[in-house]
Each structure stands twice: as structure tokens, then as C-alpha cells.
Amino acid sequence: MMRSLYSGVAGLKTHQTKMDVIGNNIANVNTIGFKSSAVTFSDIMYQTTSGASGATETTGGKNAKQIGLGVTTASTKISITSAGAAQSTGQAFDIKLTDSNSTNFFIVNNGSENLFTRAGSFYLDGNGNLAMTSTGYMVMGWQAEETEDAGITIRQDTVSPLRIMQAKNLTSAPEATTEATFSGVIDKNEKNVTSEEGYYRNLSFFDSLGYAYTARFSIKATDTEQGQYTVELSNIYNDQNQDILATYKANGGALSEIFGNDTTATRKYNPTKNFSVESGNIYFTSGGNTYRLDASSVPASIAVPETAGSQTSFTFVNSTDPTDTRQVDLATLFSIDTTNLEPGTLALSAAGQMEYTYDTTNYNLKFNTADGTFSFINSAADNGKVSLNLSNLNDLGNFENVTVDFTKLLNYDNGGSSTVNVEKGDINGVKGIGKKLGTLTSVSVDGAGKIFGSYDNGNTVLLGQIAVAQFSNASGLESLGNSCFKTTLNSGDFDGIGVAVNADGGSMSTGQLEMSNVDLSQEFTDMITTQRGFQANSRIITVSDTMLEELTNLKR
């Protein structure tokens, strides 16, 4: 009878243990990354009152007589391989693990040892480290390193804290522009194309230090009926609006070393509207008198910019009174600002125009007259591409040569309007664009756990990778609280390196968290059966006590 009392007590204890586990499960129904536990029972030893006997020739064998001594808790098993539901948060560093063949765990460090968790709520702490929001434990992973052959790669070595906001990650190195592309339509009736100065187009580009420059090109018609034009590099301005090409030429540099072939160009200026030209003579009327330019007052040539200036003046003589003269300066007569002209000479032509002759360099640009498509630049051997040899300017900047592609130009009728653009980069606008120094603007994590930084110069740089741990017996891990686990002798060891989450088909999803895997319907059902089991075991004690009471009453 005493045995039944102790069996009842054992039943109460084990059912209380199970109720404790159920209560903990229900309490953590909304804990991110929580894994529910389940209790299994086993019977205790048996008292054998009579051993088993074998069969004889005349009698059969007899089974042993055994009386059980109650129940005990066999194990509490964590349902660690069962994933919880996903909750969307929209936060960049909220990460949910999705498993394929193995159960994955984030690796975090509490300052003394590596622990493991499924709770992927992370943030960047004050030192720029990726850390657990709840505990501040640092998230562990692999560092990015730059190699000569493969660029930036991940070094899968012993895991270390992922310090995202370290100094080297805050900026992205600039890149020099190495390619450029002309595209669009050149209309032969475009008035700027047929003008003396030409149709100007600007190319913005970067040197290797990220400084911005603007190269100014001029497209001029030479024979529109034959589809012939020239392309000339006229200026290169830095970000202070200083013309470094002019500085280069002033220091004795040759334009042909930068762009184009040596040639001589002539620009013609007509007298302003206050003057008229008849038979090569220039006239103006004032006070009812007509004045004619005295050609003998005009030098055969005027050097630009050494001697030419706004004060250079010419003599006009009254047609009826030779003693009545007027002085007219160069700027008033031809509206020429010599401060903006390249070195050259000015001379009065027989047609009454001021001709400005200067040395320049340019390339011949040719189109197919049959269909208006591009034919060649400079020569057919250039394959539509020529070099802007900026490396020759490296005393004035940190440049790389730029390959300029003209093959996308067309020579069409566009209503007298040209639409030429000059863009950094190749035809696809992908390679050789060049970039300024970039500032980190955002950080993201992809499905493989790789961390990328986005910069305001358009760069996306690999900064590191979140590693995960896998165990041969994940259920053997020991729960430590704070949604963390540690290894035990029965879980398998962590090798200190970890694996990539996508190595066996797993992935990481950002903006989501894994919720608790507690199944409330199962927990409430288990609660009912546990309550009834506890109640039944209490009845064992009650009935056993009643029987003992009957026994003691025999003495009466």
C-alpha cells in the first residue's frame, strides 16, 4: 500500500514538471526565435516479488511478479528543428533564417564565448558592430578582403565580429573615367554646326582622385553634302572653372598630344549691325555723313592675345571731308572679345571680314551620305574610337586616358536641331564611367548573408558575410535564456569557422523575424491531459490513505 502512495507522489512530481514546461512554452508564445520543449515520461524500476520460472515436463512456466514504483521525467526535448512563422518588420537588420537540409544558427559572442541563436533581431551599435538588439552580443561572420585577381572577396576563416561602420567602409574609393560615348543626331542645318565656333558639347569626367572635370568639344561642318565634319577639343575645365588645357598649352604642350591632329583653323567675324560692307569696304553713317574704313589704318595682322585688345582702333574717314575722321575700336567694329581667343592672328579680308586664324587640332568625322550612319572618325582604322590622352596632363591632375566612341552618332534631318550627347562610360553606360569619392548611405544583407554597402557615387561594395553554425544534433544544444544556446557533449562541436547559409540551400530573409514555434492548440491540449494526469495521481494518494485508515480501524 505504501508503494501506491510513492507512485502517486512520483506521478504528481512528473506531471508538475510537464506543467512547468507547458507554462514556459505558453509564456514565450511571442518570443522571437523561441523553441518549444516537450516532456516525455518513463516508468521507474520494478520490484520483483516472484521471479519467473521455466516450464517442466508436467507444468508450464510462470512469469515474474513485478510491481512498478511510479513514473519519472525521461527527458525534455527542444523542438529546435521546427521553424516558427515569419513576422515582417521592414527593418534592414531583422533577419530570418530559412533552412533546407540542416538547422542553421546565427553565431554571436558574449565577450567570452560563442553562442548560437535563431533570434535575428540585430542593430549597429555605437562602435559600428552588428549586434543582437536584446543582449548586445556581437554577431560573428567573415571579413571581406581585396585581392589583385578577384577584387573584393570573402575570406572564410575563423569568425570574428562584423564591424560594419569602420573607417575604411565609410567611403568608397573614386575611379577615373576611362570611356565616353557620343550619341545622337547631327543635323547639317543646325546653325551652330555650320557656324565658325561650332556646335559645343561637354563631357563631365573624373580623375583617379574623384575630382570632376569638363571637356568641351566643338563639332563643325566642313562639307555637309559629303557628310564631313570635324571634332575639336577646345577646353578642359576643372571644378574651379580653370581651363587646364590652356595652362598645358601655355607651358609648351602640344594639343595633338591630347586630342586630334595638328591643323590650322580660320574663324570669320562680320562687322556689327551698325556697319555695312559694300565691295569689300566697311561704312557707317553718322550725322548725315558717310564714313569709310581707311584700310591703311589696319595692320596686316594683329597677334592674339599679345597685341589685340579692345583698345585696338581703326580710322574711318568722311567720304566728302578727308579731315573728318572717326576712331572705332576692334570690339565695337567686329564684337570680338580677344580675351577668350586662343593664340593666333587677326587680319582684315578683302570681303570686309575680320579673319581669325589659329592653330588647333581636330579629328575628321565622316558619315555615310546614303543612310546618315556613322562612317569613321579620323580614319577607318580607328574603328570609331579615338583616345583622349589625358595622362599627358598628369602634372595638372591624376588622369587616365579616355577612349571616346563616336559610332552612335547619326547624320539625319531633325528639323534643324542637333541632339548630340556625350556621356561617361561605354555604349551600355556600364564600364569606364568613373566615380567621385563615395559616402556610405545604406547597408543591406542578401540571401547568402553577404553584407553590402551602398554609396552615393553609385558603388555597391561587399563589406562582410554573416556566417551560420550547423550541428549534427541541434536538439542537444543547451538553452541559456535570451534566445541563445550553447554546445553540449551531445550536440556536436562548433569548429570556429561556420558555414555559408546557402551552402545547403538555406537563405536569409531581411525585414523579417522568426517567431516562436509554440503551437497553442497543442499546448492547451497537453495542459488538459496534464491536469487530468495530476488529478488522477492525487486520487491514488487519497484512495491509498483511505485504505490505510481502514487498516488502522481494525484495532478498534
pLDDT (0 to 100) of residue 242: 93
pLDDT (0 to 100) of residue 545: 87
Q: What type of residue is 331?
A: A
Same domain, 112 and 146: yes
Q: Determine how many CB atoms are found less than 10 A away from the CB of residue 331.
A: 17
Same domain, 99 and 206: no
Same domain, 97 and 218: no
Arithmetic mean of pLDDT over the chain: 91
**11 is a domain residue:** yes
**442 is a domain residue:** yes
**61 is a domain residue:** no
Pick the last residue of a domain from 424, 459, 487. 424
Same domain, 446 and 542: no
Q: Single out the residue of 287, 290, 289, 309 nearest to residue 299, CA to CA.
A: 309
What's the pLDDT band for 1 if we cut at 50, 70, 90?
low
Give the model confidence (pLDDT) of 347-373 as tens digits.
999 999 999 998 888 999 999 999 999
Same domain, 364 and 327: yes
Same domain, 187 and 335: yes
Q: Total domain count for the chain?
A: 3
Q: Chain-centre distance of CA 259, in angstroms?
A: 34
**52 is a domain residue:** no
Report, as an integer, the average pLDDT of 250-264: 89
Q: Half-sphere exposure of 73 toward its Cβ, with a 13 Å CA cutoff?
A: 15
Q: Are the CB atoms for 291 and 278 separated by under 8 Å?
A: no
Q: Single out the residue of 132, 135, 141 nearest to residue 104, CA to CA.
A: 141
Same domain, 298 and 348: yes
Q: Single out the residue of 357, 188, 179, 200 nearest to residue 265, CA to CA.
A: 357
Give the model confidence (pLDDT) of 119-148 as tens digits.
999 999 999 999 999 999 999 999 999 887
Same domain, 367 and 243: yes
Phi, psi of 196 (to 5 degrees): -70, -40
> Which element (helix H / strand E) includes 14?
helix 2-27
Instruction: Look at residue 21 and tell me whether its pLDDT is greater than 70.
Output: yes
Same domain, 392 and 442: no
**242 is a domain residue:** yes
pLDDT (0 to 100) of residue 2: 75
**356 is a domain residue:** yes
> Which element (helix H / strand E) includes 19?
helix 2-27
Give the model confidence (pLDDT) of 85-120 as tens digits.
899 998 989 999 999 888 999 999 999 999 999 999
Is the model's pTM score more than 0.85?
Answer: no
What's the pLDDT band for 311 if we cut at 50, 70, 90?
low
Report, as an integer, the average pLDDT of 513-523: 93
Q: How large a percentage of the chain has pLDDT more than 70?
A: 99
Q: Which structural domain range is residue 481 located in?
A: 86-173+438-514
**57 is a domain residue:** no
Instruction: Look at residue 57 and tell me whether its pLDDT is greater than 90.
Output: no
**53 is a domain residue:** no
Distance CA 533, CA 12 (A): 8
Report, as an integer, the average pLDDT of 536-544: 90
Instruction: Look at residue 307 and tell me whether its pLDDT is greater than 80.
Output: no
Instruction: Look at residue 481 and tell me whether its pLDDT is greater than 80.
Output: yes
Same domain, 523 and 510: no
Pick the last residue of a domain from 375, 397, 424. 424
Instruction: Look at residue 238 and tell me whether its pLDDT is greater than 90.
Output: yes
Same domain, 450 and 407: no
Q: Are the CB atoms for 7 and 68 separated by under 8 Å?
A: yes
C-alpha grid cell, residue 8: 502517486
pLDDT (0 to 100) of residue 221: 94
Give the model confidence (pLDDT) of 188-209 as tens digits.
999 999 988 899 999 999 999 9
Pick the last residue of a domain from 424, 452, 474. 424
pLDDT (0 to 100) of residue 310: 58
Same domain, 500 and 543: no
